[in-house]
Amino acid sequence: MNVLILPSLLAADVGHLEAAARQAERAGGDALHLDIMDGVFVPNISMGPAVVAMAKRCVTMPLSVHLMLLHPDQYVRRFAEAGATSLLIHIEAACDVPATLRAIRDAGVRPGITLNPGTPVERLDPVFDLVDEVLCMTVEPGYGGQSFMHDVLPKIRAVRERARRTGRPDLDIIVDGGVDLTTAPACARHGANGLVAGTALYKAPDMAADIRTMRAQAAAALA
Ligand code: DX5
Ligand code: ZN
């Protein structure tokens, strides 16, 4: 299984988002991660569909759109039209989560489910068969630049074991929050094949070199 590296645009200079999206592609990122925050589900407001549409115009890499919204069901169509490749909603959202995941697939977009750090793996039960991606938060969502929460690692392993047990070896399990060259191998060792990294990659002097290193070290550690 390949390891996917997803630079997170949240950590880019907001005055130069086009250049930052292109930089992530040129540096060898596998997909661009875009964090959408509504100021209600999380205590911060970030970007909207217009930024996803901008990225769609600038890059050909897939767009992984992480909806930190209380009511993601109301925005599926707009983000699908903007060009999202994946739409990752939260299991903690205030909507009919299985119905929203079906609506995402019906819109021609890969559905993904996100778990906050404190949310147990059992919450996946009703939606496991409906998703192509599981995003495990290793920080409380809302801000970039926070410290990686190591105590989430056993949950990542539990998701991978569940995927194997249920005949889903190709399920993408992605980690988001505090991922850098130090923490990435542990994520892979616990079964994650995708790594979102914002601060670590956008602050790196050579993003391409760090993406290569992160991918190689994670691939060597992949469980
Ligand atoms: C946090 C976001 C993350 C964020 C990660 O709510 O979901 O995607 O960009 O940023 P770093 O890599 O800086 O922790
Ligand atoms: Zn995110």
| Known active-site residue 35 | yes
pLDDT, averaged across the chain: 98
51 and 8 in contact (C-beta within 8 Å)?
Answer: no
Predicted pLDDT of residue 1: 86
pTM for this entry: 0.98
With beta carbons less than 8 A apart as the criterion, state whether 184 and 216 touch: no
**pLDDT tens, position by position, 77-112:** 999 999 999 999 999 999 999 999 999 999 999 999
Radius of gyration of the chain (CA): 16
Query: What pLDDT digit, counting tens, does each position of 115-151 carry?
Result: 999 999 999 999 999 999 999 999 999 999 999 999 9
159-186 pLDDT per residue, tens: 999 999 999 999 999 999 999 999 999 9
Distance from the CA of 66 to the center of ligand 2, in angstroms?
5
Contact 43, 36 (CB under 8 A): no
Give the domain range for residue 78. 4-221
In the DSSP assignment, the letter for residue 200 is H
Ligand 1 binding pocket (C-beta < 6 A) is 8, 10-11, 33, 35, 66, 139, 141-142, 144-146, 176-179, 196-200
Q: Looking at 30, 73, 172, 176, which residue is catalytic?
A: 176
Could you give the number of structural domains in the chain? 1
Q: Residue 202 maps to which CATH number?
A: 3.20.20.70
